[in-house]
Structure 1
């Protein structure tokens, strides 16, 4: 765990859901905090700050040497652009240090409003490669937050590749906290199941729920392992030296929904570890107390996530999906309202515990310990009267410590005091000689400099001259301030004397003037007259007579049906891109007039251009673009932007059309019918595409469920490829069976088991001038594909109404066992 060269420490970035969390972060050594405001942030359930809090908050942070970043990391809908513009002007004027952004259009708008205000590309932008970093740079971003799925090896590759391209853009990574199972910015689960969008800060945490695994129509017995999609929490402490060595600029702690005790606890542990690296160039073995503190702060189990590569067995243990804490031991005996456990961690009266019977979805027994009696490797615990139902506790139950009031008290003391507890260094130089005034020059860690002169002159000292020791003693008395004296240089000539009272006065003036300088707001350039409408030029254009039906198929049999159904544009999205060549050949033999587009996988990581080459080898008519690598790789071909580019407003759509010469872009699946109407009305309809029938792709994840639960392997090298042998579904708590697919990069997509149709709204979209409407198939039979295409062709020709089609599909849904089931999900009001 030793670093070979001395490396500049990265910034430690802590979350703050409210004022107390901000104070907890500052007093425990955070270099920066990130926080949301009352709108447009990806943690709308946090307390959050208001726009009116910004001046006071930024003054507090800057006084303490801490930066403050606002999260505006959601998609912005067309009707919100004017409000977002006003919001951004307020944020920039308040002197915030940077803004964390997901929406491409908002990046453009910020740069339009201010040429120098810092933009950080959110992890919600799903950046996994050097091409993604380059894309962020083209938007004017000053920093990129990489996807959590990047390993240290991949981070190093990205650093090397951007250096070769002469891209000087700092990288930030998440180092600790909850792990989303899906790629951030690519999770549509909350939207699909409950109309709450993760891209709008309303994640319902469906990944933390229990599921059943079904392979080839049969339940797979997994014992108590029900939480198939709930990763352990991320902890990068074990690999911190490697992360520092990788040259990342910022280490981010997740947790804007967490309590201030969590923020203080985790920040403190990582601050100590980073300071140890700075001092000794390495970290000794992880201290048991630090591991204990992190587990007590919040833990579903701690793991290095994807930092050390893919290990599907370790990432998701599947036993529970909620906070546990520290593993205390196992119940060995229950007698006379006393519980004996084989102990695995320290325990004391007052600690809170929970008994794990293997059914975390049910109400679990737990309470505070009243007494502890040690008997060798076991302890006997008693609890308060009527705290537990002893009949529900069994021998063999696991016991978890979920609360440690003593630790909580210690942690709260770190930020509850009246005076600053985490201090920043200042350096002092002292000049003078007999007959002159004493001059004190002080600077802080961020470059502020002050000069103070004594009011009285120095006189010759006969007994007690101003020695360096005395100067250090008097000028270093900074105990109730936010500073400590780091270095003092004494340049006094001869033996001089100055009253202690005068030295104390100089010290207070140094502190006051430094605080004044630190508290000043950052001044960014801001064009108050700039408008978001300046960024797009809407020109009227002729609309073709007939709308076009586009069909996406996922196997050769479905393709053949689409080709025989007089469909003019067909997208192929196959699990194995090597089959695209055959698909293109068949399409040209059966229907030479149809345009065939093929889709690369949704994620591209360093070293995966071989997959894109396989896609290109098919020699298709065009490509369905999913990410930033593909924008660059297929730049000379006919391309259409897919939903994964998250086009939610006209500024974003315009950027992809103009900058990358895309034929059109697909509207984000986060838009409901009213927002789609707004988008089509505010941009050129011929450049937009809307998906009106599909199984929504809910989770798109690096975690491979096939590997984790249908093999004993850790990744594709040793799993035996169960994805090629089994049809797998995941059943949720209400009985819906969702369809699981793997792509060529071994990434999994979980599709909603119930299809969605927007048939009722098609005529409305046609009336607005929309010409391109897509329907998607997943595991439908050729007969079902043929019937469904026919219905939608009739709908677009005006031969049936959307309501008639919807009712017909509902009827077929009953016959086809939800194969063409309908929810009104993302297209509903």
Structure 2
């Protein structure tokens, strides 16, 4: 850990997916690492660690004074709370330094178990404003991981309004969607990003459909696949903006990647703290690209530039760009180099079709004008001779880009940093020695990094020295032989009365005992307050005499007017531009009905004016979609009811209770729950204060990246894009021909909606039996007639006049609740209503 003036700690945090990566992180200067345990983390495809390994992992880390954080950054379903409790307790007992958490119900559970065990708020919480940080204040979070979309100015604004240390991603893969707000993997593959199973749908090719017509895009097909984040050059600005923890992404990456990236950011941070100017060299940046790169970007850290966020021509790591093919020879290609290359390097020829098999392999030889060249070539026209069995040169064309995909020499150099543990860092200790003849030699050993001290006495008494008495220099020599330990002796101070001596073997024993005791102190788990907690909960008595209430969410004025002509009494407005809300309020009031207005899904610094505008529009309630908006309205002590939406990611009864206790009147469950998980939660939650979305186009991606600006404008952001979103309608067409609408909100953020609407009508009877009284239909692009048809069908289903099956079949909708289909009728569940 490094400290600035004023004692603010600056931490470098590295990803580790296995033991090799862990050693690479420690050896190359990480202050802390984060890793997953078993299934409860957002990278289930990583090897991860087991609960049984936790004590050994933490002892190893603490041996080198490195902190270990366990990622628990997923939603926890009702039936998993007991397993979650066991893992939390195992982490406390093993000495884990913090849990990185997404689920607010899990935050509640951890605080019930221990009021002081450190919790870090995951980026999956979508914390992007000072108000969102303040919402979490009652739970004493130790660190907040901000959204990747916050820029330097916003980070500084947040830092100025909180004492909680802020963590920011500085390197690695970027999610195009806001973390915690991506539902695409679940929708298309049944794999939840909020459960660590991201299927990377953003890395797939899409066609751009503009106003119903396919737009010719040339070789640009990866419309949602961002470049990789690389903020090495921004380290000084990030520190000055108030960032305390620099987080590297990559728990699925190699140990060489970890070693490479950690060492580069270690140097940048240390140079800044030492007061020296630091500018990474071209070689530094090339080496980072070599380990893994889809091309580098600052992301949103330096501000929004949609043109620089993605390349669009490939979705995978390429490495270092060498140049383009100038000529194809019989056994080689001619290239004008833009980066160094040597024999043995791996290359690939990029013909602009990354989805197909590409030609590539290792370089067998390098020639200049037909003459063999030894060593590394830095620049100029060079003939690259690939291995004969690696590349079919008849398939290589002039103009193909050449990338260096691997560098064996770099990998060997990186591996050397962590293969031999004796190369790892040593920690200074100081010793004070006391004594006089006839008494034991007393030594006080101090670990100068941790502050731990141990006192070791000689078993033999000090004798009068005839020759060679004990001195500070002699003890320095004897006690300084600390090879095989993590310590090095800084200095010894001797405080003796007279000339005394003790056998060398006794000094050796004292050295061994002291070093072992200091190491044991480092590795001893920190003690926290801990309470016995039961996750067992009584089932709720879900009997309600009230008739179910049907609610309708509209996204156009046409839909508002159509809904007003039905028997629906409560309407939501969710418009692209909240400035249009007063018109909706006026129309609904004129029809004698009630209206709630939806907040944007993201709340950034400086956007409280949007929240104020919603209040001024005069709604009967507000649909709250972010922690920042929730805190802002709760602090305002409005008389208006606050209804929590799906984006708050409520997946268990503890999260339900937490939001209700904080001031929300009703909450909407997360779309991550399938029907069985939903029923598990409804059995024990306050269902009379829950609202079910039973018909909708699922909002899949929610992103700061604007497709309209990127592909329909010459501009770079909202200030110069010309607002094509006001005159065009865009959809993204996937590989099977489905067109997914892209809509813009007042913050210029895009939401990509699923092409086909889904219906939960099949499960209405089960929800009613569990006491759910509020049911929401959400419209997207439907016209007035369709709005009335859908409302009529669901009204009849709620009244028992038609089956749920007939509803979704009549609408040709997907029979699905949220993102994954459940096995309701086949479930082996204690609730007998599920067996009907």
Question: TM-score per shorter chain, which class?
Answer: over 0.9
Q: Choose from 361, 365, 371 the match for 2:355.
A: 361
| Structure 1 residues 186-197: aligned runs within 5 Å | 186-197=181-192
Cα distance change, pair 268–4 in 1 and its aligned pair in 2 (3 A): closer
- 1:523 maps to 527
Cα distance change, pair 473–239 in 1 and its aligned pair in 2 (3 A): farther
Check whether the contact 1:426–1:444 (CA below 8 A) recurs between aligned residues.
Answer: yes
SS of residue in 1 equivalent to 2:313:
coil
Check whether the contact 1:434–1:460 (CA below 8 A) recurs between aligned residues.
Answer: no
Check whether the contact 1:754–1:823 (CA below 8 A) recurs between aligned residues.
Answer: no
- 2:831 maps to none
Q: Deviations over 1:685-713 (max 9, x none)?
A: 21111111111100111111111111121
Which runs of 5 or more structure 1 residues have no equivalent in the other structure?
163-167, 811-819
Q: Distance in 2 between matches of 1:349 and 1:505?
A: 53
Q: Distance in 2 between matches of 1:500 and 1:328?
A: 62
Check whether the contact 1:442–1:510 (CA below 8 A) recurs between aligned residues.
Answer: no
- 2:410 maps to 407
Q: What's the offset of the Cα at 1:666?
A: 0.5
Q: Choose from 325, 331, 342 the match for 1:337.
A: 331
- 1:381 maps to 384
Q: Distance in 2 between matches of 1:102 and 1:305?
A: 22
| Structure 1 residues 199-598: aligned runs within 5 Å | 199-279=194-274, 281-374=275-368, 377-417=380-420, 419-432=421-434, 435=437, 437=441, 439-453=443-457, 455=460, 457=462, 466=471, 475-485=479-489, 487-488=490-491, 490=493, 505-528=509-532, 530-533=533-536, 540=541, 542-589=543-590, 591-592=591-592, 594-598=593-597
Which runs of 5 or more structure 2 residues have no equivalent in the other structure?
370-378, 824-836
Q: Deviations over 1:465-510 (max 9, x none)?
A: 8465x6655544444322344x436455799686776655554443
Q: Distance in 2 between matches of 1:238 and 1:415?
A: 25
Cα distance change, pair 508–739 in 1 and its aligned pair in 2 (3 A): same
| Structure 1 residues 52-67: aligned runs within 5 Å | 52-67=52-67
Cα distance change, pair 400–620 in 1 and its aligned pair in 2 (3 A): same
- 1:94 maps to 94
SS of residue in 1 equivalent to 2:293:
coil
Check whether the contact 1:7–1:244 (CA below 8 A) recurs between aligned residues.
Answer: no
Q: What's the offset of the Cα at 1:460?
A: 6.5
Check whether the contact 1:33–1:66 (CA below 8 A) recurs between aligned residues.
Answer: yes
Cα distance change, pair 494–718 in 1 and its aligned pair in 2 (3 A): farther
The worse-fitting range, judged by mean Cα deviation, of 332-341 and 77-86 is: 77-86
- 2:43 maps to 43
Cα distance change, pair 385–545 in 1 and its aligned pair in 2 (3 A): same
Aligned length: 803
The worse-fitting range, judged by mean Cα deviation, of 453-462 and 153-162 is: 453-462
RMSD value, Cα: 2.4
Q: Distance in 2 between matches of 1:4 and 1:265?
A: 25
Cα distance change, pair 4–641 in 1 and its aligned pair in 2 (3 A): closer
| Structure 1 residues 740-751: aligned runs within 5 Å | 740-751=742-753
Cα distance change, pair 622–541 in 1 and its aligned pair in 2 (3 A): same
Q: Is 1:139–2:146 an aligned residue pair?
A: no
SS of residue in 2 equivalent to 1:552:
strand
Cα distance change, pair 186–392 in 1 and its aligned pair in 2 (3 A): same
Q: Distance in 2 between matches of 1:331 and 1:551?
A: 58
Q: Distance in 1 between matches of 2:256 and 2:382?
A: 28
- 2:151 maps to 151
Q: Deviations over 1:135-159 (max 9, x none)?
A: 2222342221111111121111011
SS of residue in 2 equivalent to 1:10:
strand
Q: What's the offset of the Cα at 1:299?
A: 0.9
Q: Distance in 2 between matches of 1:349 and 1:459?
A: 69
Check whether the contact 1:551–1:774 (CA below 8 A) recurs between aligned residues.
Answer: yes
- 2:676 maps to 674
Q: What's the offset of the Cα at 1:330?
A: 1.2
Check whether the contact 1:623–1:634 (CA below 8 A) recurs between aligned residues.
Answer: no
Check whether the contact 2:79–2:680 (CA below 8 A) recurs between aligned residues.
Answer: yes
Q: Distance in 2 between matches of 1:100 and 1:719?
A: 38
Q: Is 1:760–2:746 an aligned residue pair?
A: no
- 1:625 maps to 624
Check whether the contact 2:808–2:814 (CA below 8 A) recurs between aligned residues.
Answer: no
Q: Distance in 1 between matches of 2:154 and 2:44?
A: 32
Q: What's the offset of the Cα at 1:206?
A: 0.5
- 1:813 maps to none
The worse-fitting range, judged by mean Cα deviation, of 683-692 and 617-626 is: 683-692
Q: Distance in 1 between matches of 2:383 and 2:665?
A: 71
SS of residue in 2 equivalent to 1:826:
coil
The worse-fitting range, judged by mean Cα deviation, of 764-773 and 191-200 is: 764-773
- 1:121 maps to 121
SS of residue in 2 equivalent to 1:172:
strand
Cα distance change, pair 345–459 in 1 and its aligned pair in 2 (3 A): farther
SS of residue in 1 equivalent to 2:419:
coil
Q: What's the offset of the Cα at 1:32?
A: 1.3
Q: What's the offset of the Cα at 1:283?
A: 4.0
